[in-house]
Amino acid sequence: MKRYIIFLNIFLTLGLWSCNKKNEKEVQIVKAQNILVEESISENDSLKKFIEPYKSSIEDEMNKPLSYAQTSMRKNDTPYNTAIGNMMADAVFEMANPVFMNRHKNSIDGVLLNHGGIRAGISKGVITTRTAYQVMPFENLVVVARLKGMQVKEMFEYLSRAKKAHPVSNMSVVVDDDWSLEDYSLNGNNVKDDEYYHIATSDYLVNGGDNMKFFQKADTVYQIDYKLRTLLIDYFQQNDTINPKVDDRFKKN
């Protein structure tokens, strides 16, 4: 039988306490002992019985059907934009924009997430709550960064250099054969250097994650108290069938 060993450090305080001039207590001697814990140790039946109803309830919730995927999707299926990435970015735009409008009286101009943040694919068939946890296991929140046009251009230049299918929505990026930025637009319009734009992203990226340093130049970061994972669950519940496609939002000429 294979044994899994866990070493627990138990600190035994000896010599105990002495008093200094201020009558403060100090530890005099500390010794450590390793206690071997093996799988041969029997389960605690009373604890198991106590946990079982909660475990069963969680399993039921995780297996709850939310939607249906008409095709399987993986983040490396295609080089520039992917079906799963497009779905996630579009979901953020669709679900977060009404919240942002209601709370801050402004509209989101575009969405940028990160390729590495997609932690699992989605298989053809029933989408459950568990699917959402597998795709987005982190506790990241959706935030909205207010960027000036010059910083938005930096964002597009970053995307052209990254050579990854970072999920984007409501924007267009075109690169040439050398991966130099050839053309870009936001919300269907050209970006003006002196105007402000609202880009939805994650709290991880807005703090410079994945080297997206342009987000750190935002003059305002709006909180909408919406976890990415919760947003995905809401999106799946709202759309009984999903069938996102690869399109020309990010392309190479």
Query: Rounded to 5 degrees, what are φ and ψ at 78?
Result: -140, 155
CA 125 to chain centre: 23
Verdict on whether the full-model pTM lies above 0.95:
no
Predicted confidence (pLDDT) per residue in 147-166, tens digit: 999 999 999 999 999 989 99
Predicted confidence (pLDDT) per residue in 5-19, tens digit: 333 343 333 333 444
User: pLDDT tens, position by position, for the chain (253 residues)?
Assistant: 444 433 334 333 333 344 444 555 666 677 787 777 676 667 778 877 787 777 778 888 999 999 999 999 999 999 999 999 999 999 999 999 999 999 999 999 999 999 999 999 999 999 999 999 999 999 999 999 999 999 999 999 999 999 899 999 999 999 998 889 999 999 999 999 999 999 999 999 999 999 999 999 999 999 999 999 999 999 999 999 999 999 999 999 8
Question: CATH: 3.40.50.300, 3.30.1370.60, 3.90.780.10, 3.90.1150.10. Which one for 65-252?
Answer: 3.90.780.10
pLDDT at 36: 72
Closest Cα to residue 118, out of 168, 179, 71, 170?
168
From the number of C-beta atoms within 10 Å of its C-beta (0-12, 13-18, 19+), residue 102 rates as: exposed
Instruction: Return the beta strands (E) in the chain as ranges.
Output: 6-19, 25-37, 65-69, 110-112, 125-128, 141-148, 168-169, 171-175, 181-186, 196-202, 220-227, 250-252
pLDDT at 101: 97
Residues of the chain with CATH 3.90.780.10: 65-252
Predicted confidence (pLDDT) per residue in 100-120, tens digit: 999 999 999 999 999 999 999
pLDDT at 33: 78
